[in-house]
Structure formats: structure tokens, C-alpha cells
Amino acid sequence: MTPREELENLAKLDQGMTPQTRGRKFEEWLNRLLAAEGMFPRTSFRPAGEEIDGSFMHEGRFHLVEAKWWKDQVPASAIYQFKGKVDGKLVGTIGIFISMAEYSPDAVDALRVGKNLNVLLFDRDDVFAAATHGFGNVLRHKLRLAAELGEVFVPYVATIKPSDKPLTVVVEGMRDELFIRGIAENLLSRGIKTRRLTVIQSQGSMGLANVALAASESRVGPVVIFTDLASAAEQLPDAVMYVAGRLEGVIAGPWSERWLGFASKREAKSTMRPNELRVRAAQIDIEELTEKDNHFQKLVRLLSD
């Protein structure tokens, strides 16, 4: 079983575990990953008056690590506490804080404005990327940007490039586009290469068919219509469905309800800012939703290289 498969199995069993069991199994998985990459991990140890989850060696330097799998967001206090441990060690020591839960905004900002940047943050997507591409590769990316930009929290997805195979997606508006791009980021973070996307907004469901037909004539590669309205596919003219070899068809979500769990599309628009929507789409459980929803399965298939 690959490290990613082990992590996915652990994530699926998450709800049935106590926090202590979940945390212990996560630390065990992480130590196996680090050991497999020759990083000489050391499990939990207790210097005088404190406890540290572990340490490891990367490219000749030792790093301290804190690994958490909590239900709630990681507060600033947890980051401060770990940073205090790192501050008291050899000059140049770097701390790696790993969390399978989200970080609170104030926790990240607190590190960014600190005078001494010696802690880097890994989130859930970074952990899955490490399971796929190697912990060392993800860490190297983060260390470089921390040195060049002073940034302690940079997603590894930024280093994974889409393929050269094009795909044009015609959507109704901005929020549909943000959702599509969030799903593409989600796939990249899991090591799944996506097509080179062009997203065209038709500014309403009435223009979907004509915009898609025009795109199929002028674009290289397949064209797909994506809409949040389940009834839109029935309203589109039959001509859309048989542009020979160019139009993949229609995917009718509706993503705001079935895929993001809102009571209605109206609620999604009124309670979620655009950037939050993209982030939430990037955090969807791809594997679980693919198994449950044929429309989502088709979307993932089309976006993937």
C-alpha cells in the first residue's frame, strides 16, 4: 500500500476514532513516510519541561516537527507554543507544524509578522501532496519560498503545472468559474494533473448554448458546458449535444447544494464570498463525491489529464 493510500484510509476511518488514537496513527504514518525518505525521524521526546512530537533530518539539517489532527481549527496559541520550543533550540533550527485541520487566520498572520521566521506550516493539502510527491520535495518548495519571500504558508500546489492538453469550460458566471478552478486546484493538490483550462462566462443560462457552440468552432480541444442549474441541460437546444468531436456535453451540478452542502443556490451566494467559494471547492473530498455523484465523476474525468 502506498503512503497516499494509507493516508486516505486513515482519513476515511477518522470519524470512528478517538482524537488520541487518530493523532497517534497520524504520527506513526508520518514517521514511516520520513523514514522511507531517509530522514531519520525521531518520535515524541521530552526535553526538560516540554514535549515535542518529533524531529527529522533534511539535507543535513535537523528540524523539529509538531503533527496535529484536530477537529477544530488550530488556534494561534498552539502555533505560539510550538514556536517557543523552536526558539529555545540551536540557532537556525526550523520547526515544521503539520495540521490536518485548518489554521485560524490569526495563527497564520501572527507568524507572518513575526521578527524571527523559524516555523513553516503544512496543511491537509500539503500532507496529501507529500504522500504523493515526497515530503522532501514539498518541504524544499516551502523552505525556498520562505527564504525568498518571507512566507511561512505556501501551498505545494503552486509547483504542479497543468498539462498542455486544453479544455474549454463554458459557465454561467463568476461563481461557477471559481468553483471549477477550485476543483482543479483540489485535483492538483492530490497529484492529479489537470488539463490546461480556459473558462468562458456566458453571463446567464440563456447564453450557454451559443457561447459553447462558438467556442467549439474557435477553440482547440474539447468544450464542456457546466451549470449549477439541474434543469438547464433540458433547456439547451439539441444542437449543443452533437458538435462532432468537439463538445463533451453538459454537466448540470448543482454544485452549491449537492456538492458544497448549501440549502440552496441563493444561500451559497448570500453567505459565501467568491474567494471562500474557491477555497471550499479546493477542499472537497474528491474521492467520496466521485463515488456518490455521476455528474461530479464526469467533471473530474474531464478536468483530469
User: Rounded to an integer, what distance in angstroms lies between the CA atom of residue 124 and that of residue 68?
Assistant: 10
Q: How far is it between the farthest Cα atoms of the chain?
A: 74
Residue 111: CB partners within 8 Å, gap ≥ 6?
79, 83, 117, 119, 121, 152, 153
Instruction: Enter the C-alpha cell of residue 285.
Output: 473530498
Direct distance between the N- and C-terminal alpha carbons of the chain, in angstroms, rounded to an integer: 24
Out of 16-20, 98-102, 107-111, give the one with best mean pLDDT.
98-102
Confidence of residue 235 (pLDDT cuts 50, 70, 90): low
Q: Is the pLDDT of residue 298 over 60?
A: yes
Q: Report, as an integer, the average pLDDT of 241-262.
A: 65
- Mean pLDDT, the chain, integer: 80
Please report where in the chains the cell 483530469 appears, as a residue. Answer: 304
Which position has the higher pLDDT, 201 or 75? 75
Confidence at residue 242, expressed as pLDDT on a 0 to 100 scale: 42
Q: Is the pLDDT of residue 22 over 80?
A: yes
Confidence at residue 239, expressed as pLDDT on a 0 to 100 scale: 40
Helices (H), the chain: 3-12, 19-36, 76-87, 105-112, 124-133, 135-149, 174-189, 208-218, 232-235, 265-271, 274-281, 286-292, 294-303
Of 107, 264, 91, 255, nearest to 186 by C-alpha is 255
The whole model's pTM is what?
Answer: 0.58
SS3 168: strand
Which position has the higher pLDDT, 268 or 167? 167
User: Rounded to an integer, what distance in angstroms lies between the CA atom of residue 230 and that of residue 295?
Assistant: 10
**CA atoms 99, 280, 222, 220: torsion sign:** negative
| Dihedral of the alpha carbons of 99, 101, 107, 109, in degrees to the nearest 10 | 90
